């Protein structure tokens, strides 16, 4: 086996990780940017999205594409509603005090995870992808007839995996448009800039906060629905995306959406590549240490602007 095709495959897997992580991280980043809340339970909303997708696809039946399409709509709505409820019942009552909300979201993390264990069970359950065609990876090389395409390694990817990457890009574009073009996006940004002034202008800040929290969770859930046909739904699956999103959001600069996406691509790709050539654990050690050092020495993130 050559180095080239392995690198190619690692890059591709890395791109899928990057696609999903940029969605979860975008959710985390929006919630932090607007509400100044570090949501430790974010990974559990991701997990709920995947579990929700399993419930929906199982309930709908028929061709996998129908169930999947239903899951794409129903799971994020369901997760968003739960998150908005958590905001109303817990975070709002804490007055969004930064340290107490972190502690509370740790509690919410365990509640969601364990309730899922009690209802969904400890097994990993697969969701069938809506379409799944194998694409062998070609290689351009010099053969007997000069330059030609060959398929020498039997390595392959699937149409679904490529679709995940495209879908994530489309969704992120949609989120960006939503934030910058719609009235709700405007209200969100106004609340972010100055909460008290927004209240003075009659913006229902309380309602906005609940929706922002729900919206952030729903984006994570959407990412989970996309990845679940590749990964299977499991009640502990939220931990890795949570840590990776933290890493991405911090390196990209807390609360900056473009920075988050650049960092997601960077981290997702390098995670994929280091995992293939060295070990997944080593990749994670390096990434976590990187985050710690970025926070210590460059708190505004690698791509953020220094605060005056």
Residue with tokens 């129908």: 66
Question: Beta strands of the chain (E only): which ranges?
Answer: 134-136, 139-143, 146-150, 156-158
Please give the structure tokens belonging to residue 157: 């990817």
**Does 306 help bind other proteins (rule: CB under 8 A)?**
no
Is 113 a residue that touches other proteins (CB under 8 A)?
yes
Number of other residues whose CB lies within 10 A of the CB of residue 160: 18
Determine if 110 is a binding residue for other proteins (CB under 8 A).
Answer: yes
Size of residue set near other proteins by CB under 8 A: 41
Q: Look up residue 275 and give its two tokens.
A: 């995992």
Q: CA neighbours within 13 Å on the CB side: how many for 246?
A: 20
- Decide if residue 85 touches other proteins (CB under 8 A): no
Minimum separation from the CB atom of position 303 to other proteins (A): 17
Among 73, 77, 102, 156, binds other proteins (CB under 8 A): 102
Q: Is 114 in the site for other proteins (CB under 8 A)?
A: yes
Tokens of 163: 């679709």
Q: With contact defined as beta carbons under 8 Å apart, do 284 and 17 qualify?
A: no
Residue 296 C-beta: closest distance to other proteins, Å: 5
- Closest approach of other proteins to the CB of residue 65, in Å: 34
Least distance CB 255 / other proteins (angstroms): 12
Q: Binding to other proteins by residue 197, rule CB under 8 A? A: no
Q: Which of 173, 193, 293, 305 touches other proteins by CB under 8 A?
A: 293
CB 293 within 8 Å of CB 278: no
Residues 139-158 that bind other proteins (CB under 8 A): none
First to last CA, the chain: 52
Min. distance of Cβ 73 from other proteins in angstroms? 29
* Given 107, 136, 174, 258, the residue binding other proteins (CB under 8 A): 107
Buried-state track 215-248, b at ≥16 Cβ within 10 A, e below 16: bbbbbbbbbbbbbbbbbebbbebbebbbebbbbb
Rounded to whole angstroms, the Cα distance separating 48 from 225 reads 9
The least CB distance from residue 213 to other proteins, in Å, is: 15
By CB under 8 A, is residue 135 in contact with other proteins?
Answer: no
Site for other proteins, rule CB under 8 A: 38, 90, 93-94, 98-100, 102-104, 106-115, 117-118, 122, 239, 243, 246, 250, 279, 281-282, 284-285, 288-289, 291-293, 295-297, 299
């Amino acid at each position: 086996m050559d180095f080239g095709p392995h690198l190619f495959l690692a890059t591709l897997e890395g791109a899928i990780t990057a696609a999903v992580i940029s969605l979860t991280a975008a959710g985390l980043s929006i919630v932090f940017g607007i509400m100044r809340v570090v949501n430790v339970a974010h990974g559990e909303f991701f997990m709920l999205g995947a579990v929700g997708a399993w419930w929906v696809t199982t309930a709908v039946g028929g061709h996998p594409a129908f169930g999947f399409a239903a899951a794409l709509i129903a799971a994020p709505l369901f997760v968003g509603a739960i998150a908005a409820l958590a905001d109303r019942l817990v975070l709002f009552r804490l007055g969004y005090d930064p340290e107490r909300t972190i502690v509370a979201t740790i509690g919410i993390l365990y509640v969601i995870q364990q309730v899922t264990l009690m209802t969904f069970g400890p097994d990993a359950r697969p969701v069938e992808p809506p379409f799944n065609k194998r694409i062998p990876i070609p290689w351009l090389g010099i053969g007997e007839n000069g330059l030609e395409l060959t398929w020498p390694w039997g390595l392959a990817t699937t149409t679904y995996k490529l679709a995940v990457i495209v879908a994530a890009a489309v969704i992120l574009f949609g989120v960006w448009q939503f934030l910058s073009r719609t009235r709700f996006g405007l209200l969100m940004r106004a609340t972010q800039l100055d909460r008290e002034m927004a209240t003075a202008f009659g913006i229902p800040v309380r309602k906005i906060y609940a929706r922002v929290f729900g919206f952030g969770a729903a984006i994570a859930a959407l990412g989970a629905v996309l990845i679940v046909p590749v990964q299977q739904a499991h009640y502990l699956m939220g931990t890795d995306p949570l840590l990776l999103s933290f890493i991405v959001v911090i390196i990209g600069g807390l609360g900056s959406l473009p920075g988050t996406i650049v960092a997601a691509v960077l981290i997702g790709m390098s995670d994929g590549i280091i995992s293939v050539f060295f070990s997944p654990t080593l990749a994670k050690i390096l990434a976590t240490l990187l985050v710690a050092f970025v926070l210590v020495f460059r708190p505004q993130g690698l791509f953020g602007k220094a605060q005056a």
